[in-house]
Structure 1
Amino acid sequence: MTERSKMDEIISRYADMVYRIALNNMKTRHDADDVFQEVFLRCVKCGRKKGDFESEEHLKAWLIRVTINCCNKFWSSGWRRHVVFGEEPSKLFEFPEENGIHEAMTSLPPKYRNVLHLFYFEDMAVKDIAEVLKVKEPAVRMQLTRGRAMLREKLKGEMLE
């Protein structure tokens, strides 16, 4: 299998997951597109330097970690801190679901948002999330509990309106 066909296979298999995580963290399609591109560029560079990844789980965990790191890097960049938006960035993209779950998710702090996303949308176990995020399992369980409570509170306010 050639290097290009390996990368095409990786991109086709994990593109949706990487894009969902990027969109969950970035809140706009344009920024998520930038992160998506950066993640797979890094994958190409890393794949050529290190050879193939150890396993599918290792590749998936690496992609998740790199996606989250790219999002964090984007938000902490000097340019981003000094840009003034004409409109709130979270309002630039409208989520397809009408029930408000995604809007409520994007309003959570990143550590809760990422854990909830990985648990519910990527069907990852607590142990796997802890390994990917490099935190202890009790911390992941606590973030899930607190994130659910925050999400429940935000959705309760929307349900009353």
Structure 2
Amino acid sequence: MDTTSQPSERLELLLLTHGNTLYRAAAAILGDVYEAQDAVQDTFLAWLEKQPDCPDGAHERAWLLRVTVNNCKSRLRSPWRRKTGALTESLTTEGPEESALMEAIQTLPAKDRIVLHLHYYEGYQTGEIAQMLGWREGTVRSRLSRARKRLKTLLTDQID
């Protein structure tokens, strides 16, 4: 990617290239479209401040996702967040099965939602997720395993 362009041009290219991915990750973690938009906006502001030197698009995407995840984690720790509820109806889904899946995912703890989204929706391996989140790889694997079990239990309870 051309790093000699103006920061505003570079930012526009980053928004077009990675904006939807970052938004989907933030929405999956936070469960609120407006907070997700704010978290992504904060990510791009951080990029403008730091303008990290990423040799290729994969490192750039990983940097942006890591900052987005950290922004989401900060928002989840916020004291005022405990007083608000998730807006699951604002998350777009394709059908009733996917809608039920999204509702079940939103009931999981945030740490489980983070690893599920990064692994299944973004396609990262456990080692890459561990590096992004600053966790051990075994922690990511156990979180994924627990999240799958919880999700399976939630979905089978809905069917019964």
Q: Shorter-chain TM-score: what band? A: 0.7 to 0.9
Q: Distance in 2 between matches of 1:76 and 1:124?
A: 25
Equivalent residue number for residue 96 of structure 1: 93
Aligned structure 1 segments of 4 or more residues deviating by more than 6 angstroms:
none
What displacement does 1:24 show?
0.9
TM-score (norm 2): 0.85
CA contact (8 A) 1:95 1:102 kept: no
Partner AA of 1:58 in structure 2? H
Gaps of at least 5 residues in structure 2 are none
Q: Distance in 2 between matches of 1:127 and 1:95?
A: 29
Equivalent residue number for residue 63 of structure 1: 64
Is 1:27 the counterpart of 2:31? The answer is yes
Partner AA of 1:53 in structure 2? C
What displacement does 1:109 show?
0.8
Gaps of at least 5 residues in structure 1 are none
Kindly tell me: are residues 110 and 92 of structure 1, through their superposed partners in 2, closer, same or farther at Cα, counting changes over 3 Å? Answer: same
Task: Give secondary structure in 1 for the equivalent of 2:108.
Answer: coil
TM-score (norm 1): 0.85
CA contact (8 A) 1:95 1:103 kept: no
Number of positions where the alignment pairs a residue of Structure 1 with one of Structure 2: 153
What displacement does 1:20 show?
0.6
Equivalent residue number for residue 10 of structure 1: 14
- Over the aligned positions, Cα root-mean-square deviation in angstroms equals 1.8
Equivalent residue number for residue 158 of structure 1: 158
Q: Distance in 2 between matches of 1:95 and 1:2?
A: 34
